[in-house]
Structure formats: C-alpha cells, structure tokens
C-alpha cells in the first residue's frame, strides 16, 4: 500500500526554484507562467478586435488634383442627432480606455521589436553604419528624383509630381521605397510643351563654293534613280490607259528646298528619299545650276500662316538657292486658294491657270511648284505632212490621231533587247532631247516595259544614246499635250511612309510645331510641229535599209537636258486625251 506524499517545506521549495525554472515539467511554477503567457496573448487579441470594431480601419486612395498627388483618409461617418449626451459621454469614456490601452500595447510592441532588431544588427554587422533612405532611394542614373511629401493639418499628404510625367510612367514608377503606395492608382497625364530644337547647324552647305563635274554626275545619278522610283509609285494606282507626266527635277528642287529646314532623322530620310549620297554638300548649288534653262518656266513658293515664325536662315537660303517666294496664307480658305492659283497663273505666263481646287482651313504651310516646258524641235516637222493615222491600244479599239511624219528626220535610235522596246532620241532647242520608248511590237503591252525600267537601266540607256549618231529616219510621231497634277503628300508618303507627318522641320521654325499641310505639283507638256530651226535644203539620200521609228501605240517619253538627267518623264496612252 502506497503511503500518502507529504508536502515539501517552503524553505526547500525556495532552494529548488532555480532548478524548476530549467526543468519545467508539470510544476506549479511553470504552469503559472504558461497561464500568464496565454492571458497576455488573449488580451492582445481582444484588444485588437475591440479596436477594429470600435474605430474601423481607414482606407486610402490616390487622388491627383492641381498637379499634386494626394493621399486622403476616409471621412468619418455623420453622427446620429438622436443620440444623448450621456450615451456620448459613456462611449467616449470607453473609447478613451481602449485608445490608451491600444497605445500602450503598440508602444510595448515597438520597444520590444526595436530591441530585437538592435540585437540582430549588432550580431550580424556590428560596425556597419546605417545609410539614410533619402540617399539611396534614387541611385539609379537617369531616374527622376522621387517626389517628397508633406503632411498638412487635415492629415492629407501632398506629393510634388515630376515635370512632364504621363500616366503610364507614373504607374510604373510609383512602387518605390520612398513613398507610400496603395491601389488603385489613377492619374491625369500632364501636357508638356513642345521639345525645343537643338541649335541649328551653321549652313552645312557653305563649304561648297561651286559645283564640280563630279557633283553634277552625283546629281544626275540621284535624279535618275528618284525619277524611276517616283514614276512607279505614282502610277501604281493609276489606270494603265491614262496619260501621265511629272517633273522629277521640279519635285527634287521643292523637296531640296524643304531639306534646308530639316533636322536629325528627317534630314537623313529626305536625302535617302531623293537618292542623294551622304554629305552631298554641293547639292543645292548643283541643282541651281542644273535648273537654268530657257526651255523651262518654273515657279516655287511656300505659303504659310503668318503666326508661324520662320527662321531667317531658312528664308535667306531658300531665296538664294531656289528663288522661292515666301507668302502668307489668309484665314479664309477660299481666298487662300484664289491667291495661290493667281500666283501660279502669273508665274507660268498663263499656261497653268489653276493648281488647287481647295485647301484645308487649318493648313499651316503649303509647298507649291509649277513647271511649263516650251522647247521646240531643232528640225521642224512640216505641217503639211501631218496626217491622221491609226493609234493602236491593247484591249481597246484603235483610234485615229494627228501624226507628225517625216521621211528624213534625224534620230538616234536602237533596239533595247532587255526592255523589249525601241528607243529613239530627238533633238530639241536649248540643249534638250526628247526620248521615246515604245514597245517593239503592236501586240506588246507598255506595262511590260515599265516593269523592267529602273534607275541603272535608264542611265545605261541614255549613255548608249549619247554614243549613237543621228541618222535620217522615217518617223511617225503623234502630236500630244499632257497636263498632270500630283498630290505629293500621297505619293511621297507611299515612298516613305508617314514622312510629312513625322518630319522634324525645326530649321524652318524653332518655336512652333510646324508641319507640311500640303504639297502640289503640276506639269504641262505640248508636242507639235513647231521648230526653232528651218530644215536645210541639202539633198539627203536614203540607204536601201532605211531607219524607221514609228510610234503607233502607247509609249513612254522623257525630256532630258543633254548629258545630265531627266527633266520630265511620262507616258501617253491616248494622244487625244489631255
């Protein structure tokens, strides 16, 4: 039988206390400490729950107003007017009790946490110095400084936003260590002023004193390449049965005028568009010399809004190289159209009476160019020899047209087997030549020749014509007149997508966002029997194998300044249609 255990004396319990602290198994002392810890944990939980139930947790949201970012607390709910003062007083007493208790609890937790952090920091890096947050929050180069915030008396935080930051950039940069971040985030994009143009280069073409033969060769190659590219782009969406003509020299002159005011990437794109080699400093003087001809009547102008402040350098260079008139646009679009057409009529001697039909009321700047070619044959076609002969068109009925004819007209011609066409050169006054390219067979379409044409092929063709002497030839050539207007905004935009809309023209105006609103080109050519020199009365004997050059179907034509480059290029599908 087990005996009943007797309690230990109190003196023995005090002597065993240190051991009990180490070996806490079912002892009274350990049990008391366990109960104490559980009570503290329970009190913490109830204090948290009571505080949440009484006060709620404020929510925050981002707001942007007047260019400042604000963090605002949720406003308190309105009080019930039916509540009594006694109730209010009692609730205030309860609230103060819990508020003090909650504050003491938070202070206790903070002190405990700080001590633990200090111990950890000293044990890991005892000699490491703390780095201020403000010095490390923006160490990444290129980042704008994080906006600092201040608190006002209404518990609202105001953030000074960086200048010219849009909504997307602010959303990406918001989560930094230097500012409070909450979601959702909303922002109003700010409107930034236009970017100032970098300092304009000091006349990059001043290094050229006079154009050299090498410069003229570069210009001729560039013009020829541009001519073919422009022709293929412009005729891509035109009917195969339509007549067409343009002046690559005039368009290149107009765009080179614009080149004087381009900057950065726009300059490179425009030079590439015109097929100019890089650092072609003499291009403007070469063009000026090339454009001098008694056979051409050309006019260039830039109409612009008076509010657009044009750079004086651009004004002076444009007048010096291209004789460009700078004229103001009126606010009335109808009046502006009238003024532009009157200017064109005056500068072409009445040959071109109208260039524009309408104009946008918000047009800032309009480029204009008009050309009229009035050269004559070096050897006259006799009027009495002109007869109505058949002109054959693919898949269309044949038509009778006035055909200039001669049995001994001097022509330099050959058969180009690559193009599958007959090529002939006719001399004209003022050092000009008319080149005709016609398919070698009536059954052949002109489009087959057009598809094979390229800049190098065109240059090779002209180089060969220069070596072929003029021989008396039996000729039949239709009279024709062709008048074409081109919207360069559309054609140039197809050659270099979006060029006019992306163009940086800071050299034209450095204070405004200048943009080209329109670009028009019109060319007129008329070929008839008139000649500048009478035929010599010398007897010409024809060989047994006479040369023939008969143009009785759709053909290409080009007017060249001898040994240089094309002034005009076009096609005639119907000589009777203008």
Q: The domain spanning residue 490 has which CATH number?
A: 3.30.497.10
Tell me what pLDDT residue 299 has. 73
**Rounded-to-integer distance, Cα 503 and Cα 232, Å:** 23
In this prediction, residues 59-84 reach a mean pLDDT of 44
Are 263 and 401 part of one and the same domain?
no
**Rounded-to-integer distance, Cα 12 and Cα 280, Å:** 110
Are 263 and 302 part of one and the same domain?
yes
pLDDT in tens, 460-477: 999 999 999 999 999 999
Is residue 68 over pLDDT 90? Answer: no
Tell me the CA distances in angstroms from 425 to 218, 411, 462, 510, one per residue in order: 23, 6, 9, 48
Are 414 and 284 part of one and the same domain?
no
**How is residue 88 written in tokens?**
């209010």
**How is residue 138 written in tokens?**
């923006």
* Number of domains forming the structure of the chain: 3
Q: Could you write out the three-class secondary structure of 345-384?
A: HHHCCCCCCCCCCCCCCCCCEEEEEEEEECCCECCCCCHH
Is residue 126 over pLDDT 50? Answer: no
Q: What is the DSSP secondary-structure string of 378-407?
A: SSPPPGGG-EEEEEEETTEEEEEEEEEEEE
In this prediction, residues 414-428 reach a mean pLDDT of 95
**Rounded-to-integer distance, Cα 505 and Cα 261, Å:** 5
**How is residue 216 written in tokens?**
């003229």
Are 387 and 478 part of one and the same domain?
yes
End-of-domain residue from the set 160, 193, 226: 193
**Rounded-to-integer distance, Cα 222 and Cα 54, Å:** 84
In this prediction, residues 360-366 reach a mean pLDDT of 80
DSSP 3-state of 235: coil
pLDDT in tens, 444-458: 999 999 999 999 999
In a domain, 465, yes or no: yes
Local structure of residue 385 (DSSP, 8 states): G
- Report yes or no: 288 and 322 within 8 Å, Cβ to Cβ: yes
Instruction: Provide the pairing of β-strand 518-527 with 365-373.
Output: parallel
- Report yes or no: 411 and 426 within 8 Å, Cβ to Cβ: yes
In a domain, 82, yes or no: no
Is residue 91 over pLDDT 80? Answer: no
Tell me the CA distances in angstroms from 169 to 68, 139, 174, 395, one per residue in order: 15, 18, 9, 61
Is residue 406 over pLDDT 90? Answer: yes
Other Cβ atoms closer than 10 A to 563 = 13
Tell me the CA distances in angstroms from 318 to 261, 277, 321, 348, one per residue in order: 9, 21, 6, 20
End-of-domain residue from the set 161, 193, 225: 193
Pick 384 or 99 by higher pLDDT: 384
The lowest-confidence range among 267-276, 283-292, 474-483 is 283-292
Tell me what pLDDT residue 64 has. 43
Pick 416 or 298 by higher pLDDT: 416
Is residue 82 over pLDDT 60? Answer: no
Is residue 157 over pLDDT 50? Answer: no
Highest mean pLDDT of the ranges 56-60, 135-139, 427-431? 427-431
Instruction: Provide the pairing of β-strand 566-572 with 555-561.
Output: antiparallel
Highest mean pLDDT of the ranges 2-11, 265-274, 292-301? 265-274
pLDDT in tens, 491-537: 998 999 888 888 888 888 876 677 777 788 888 888 888 754 444 33
**How is residue 479 written in tokens?**
């009279």
Are 561 and 428 part of one and the same domain?
yes
**Contacts (Cβ under 8 Å, ≥6 apart) of 432:** 293, 295, 375, 559, 560, 561, 562, 567
Is residue 66 over pLDDT 60? Answer: no
Identify the band that residue 22 occupies on the pLDDT scale cut at 50, 70 and 90.
very low
In a domain, 89, yes or no: no
Are 559 and 436 part of one and the same domain?
yes
**Rounded-to-integer distance, Cα 549 and Cα 552, Å:** 10
In a domain, 2, yes or no: no
Angle of CA points 397, 400, 401, to nearest 5°: 125
Is residue 392 over pLDDT 90? Answer: yes
Domain that holds residue 340: 213-375+483-526
- Report yes or no: 20 and 27 within 8 Å, Cβ to Cβ: yes
**Rounded-to-integer distance, Cα 200 and Cα 197, Å:** 8
Tell me what pLDDT residue 106 has. 66
For residue 434, whether the previous peptide bond is cis, meaning omega lies within 30 degrees of 0, is no
Are 401 and 550 part of one and the same domain?
yes
Other Cβ atoms closer than 10 A to 512 = 16
Are 187 and 152 part of one and the same domain?
yes
In this prediction, residues 183-193 reach a mean pLDDT of 29
Tell me what pLDDT residue 476 has. 96
CATH number at residue 466: 2.30.39.10
In a domain, 103, yes or no: no
**Rounded-to-integer distance, Cα 80 and Cα 75, Å:** 15
**Rounded-to-integer distance, Cα 334 and Cα 356, Å:** 10
**Rounded-to-integer distance, Cα 349 and Cα 297, Å:** 8
- Segment (H or E) for 18: helix 10-22
**Rounded-to-integer distance, Cα 232 and Cα 170, Å:** 48
In a domain, 396, yes or no: yes
Tell me what pLDDT residue 4 has. 43
**This prediction's pTM:** 0.64
Q: What are the counts of helices (DSSP H) followed by strands (DSSP E) for the chain?
A: 15, 18
State the distance between the two ends of the chain, measured CA to CA, in whole angstroms.
139
Are 464 and 499 part of one and the same domain?
no
* Helix runs in 71-184, H state only: 85-124, 133-136, 167-173
- Report yes or no: 241 and 399 within 8 Å, Cβ to Cβ: no
Is residue 572 over pLDDT 60? Answer: yes
Using left for φ > 0, alpha for ψ between -120 and 50, and beta otherwise, residue 420 falls in: left
Other Cβ atoms closer than 10 A to 449 = 22
Is residue 124 over pLDDT 60? Answer: no
Identify the band that residue 376 occupies on the pLDDT scale cut at 50, 70 and 90.
confident
In a domain, 86, yes or no: no
pLDDT in tens, 197-214: 554 444 555 557 677 888
Other Cβ atoms closer than 10 A to 406 = 22
**Rounded-to-integer distance, Cα 103 and Cα 51, Å:** 11
Identify the band that residue 63 occupies on the pLDDT scale cut at 50, 70 and 90.
very low
Are 493 and 478 part of one and the same domain?
no
In this prediction, residues 48-53 reach a mean pLDDT of 61
The lowest-confidence range among 79-93, 104-118, 342-356, 483-497 is 79-93
In a domain, 577, yes or no: no
Are 270 and 390 part of one and the same domain?
no
Are 478 and 489 part of one and the same domain?
no
Pick 555 or 184 by higher pLDDT: 555
- Measure the CA dihedral 349/355/358/362, to 10°: -90
């Amino acid at each position: 039988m087990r005996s009943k255990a007797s309690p230990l004396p109190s003196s023995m319990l005090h002597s065993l206390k240190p051991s009990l602290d180490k070996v806490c198994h079912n002892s009274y002392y350990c049990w008391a400490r366990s109960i104490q810890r559980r009570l503290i944990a329970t009190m913490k939980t109830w204090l948290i729950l009571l505080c949440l139930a009484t006060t709620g947790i404020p929510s925050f949201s981002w707001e942007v107003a007047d260019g400042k970012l604000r963090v605002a607390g949720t406003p308190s709910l309105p009080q019930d007017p039916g509540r009594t003062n006694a109730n209010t007083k009692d609730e205030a007493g309860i609230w103060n009790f819990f508020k003090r208790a909650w504050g003491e609890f938070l202070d206790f937790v903070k002190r405990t946490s700080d001590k633990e952090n200090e111990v950890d920091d000293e044990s890991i890096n005892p000699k490491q110095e703390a780095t201020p947050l403000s010095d490390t929050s923006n160490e990444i180069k290129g980042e704008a400084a994080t906006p600092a915030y201040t608190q006002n008396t209404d518990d609202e935080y105001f953030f000074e936003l960086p200048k010219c930051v849009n909504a997307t950039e602010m959303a990406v940069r918001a989560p930094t260590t230097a500012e409070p971040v909450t979601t959702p985030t909303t922002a109003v994009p700010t409107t930034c002023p236009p970017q100032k143009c970098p300092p304009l280069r000091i006349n990059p073409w001043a290094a050229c004193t006079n154009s050299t033969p090498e410069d003229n060769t570069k210009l001729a190659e560039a013009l020829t390449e541009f001519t073919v590219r422009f022709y293929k782009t412009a005729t891509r969406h035109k009917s195969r049965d339509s007549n067409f003509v343009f002046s690559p020299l005039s368009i290149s002159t107009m765009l080179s005028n614009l080149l004087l005011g381009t900057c950065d990437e726009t300059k490179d794109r425009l030079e590439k568009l015109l097929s100019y080699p890089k650092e072609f400093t003499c291009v403007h003087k070469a063009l000026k010399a090339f454009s001098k001809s008694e056979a051409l009547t050309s006019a260039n102008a830039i109409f612009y809004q008076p509010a657009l402040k044009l750079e004086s350098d651009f004004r002076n260079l444009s007048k010096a190289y291209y004789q460009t008139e700078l004229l103001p646009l009126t606010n009335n679009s109808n009046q502006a159209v009238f003024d532009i057409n009157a200017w064109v009529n005056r500068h072409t001697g009445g040959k071109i009476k109208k260039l524009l039909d309408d104009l946008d009321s918000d047009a800032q700047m309009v480029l204009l160019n008009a050309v009229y070619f009035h050269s004559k044959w070096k050897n006259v076609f006799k009027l009495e020899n002109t007869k109505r002969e058949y002109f054959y068109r693919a898949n269309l009925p044949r038509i009778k047209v006035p055909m200039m004819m001669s049995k001994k007209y001097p022509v330099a011609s050959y058969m180009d087997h690559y193009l599958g066409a007959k090529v002939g050169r006719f001399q004209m006054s003022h050092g000009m030549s008319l080149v005709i390219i016609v398919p070698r067979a009536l059954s052949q379409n002109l489009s087959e020749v057009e598809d094979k044409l390229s800049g190098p092929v065109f240059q090779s063709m002209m180089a060969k014509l220069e070596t072929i002497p003029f021989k008396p030839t039996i000729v039949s050539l239709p009279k024709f007149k062709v008048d074409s207007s081109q919207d360069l905004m559309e054609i140039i935009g197809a050659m270099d997508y979006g060029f006019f809309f992306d163009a940086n023209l800071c050299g034209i105006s450095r204070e405004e966002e200048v943009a080209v609103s329109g670009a028009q080109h019109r060319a007129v050519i008329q070929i008839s029997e008139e000649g500048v020199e009478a035929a010599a009365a010398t007897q010409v004997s024809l060989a047994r194998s006479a040369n023939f050059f008969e143009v009785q179907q759709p053909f290409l034509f080009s007017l060249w300044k001898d040994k240089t480059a094309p002034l005009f290029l076009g096609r005639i599908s119907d000589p009777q249609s203008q």
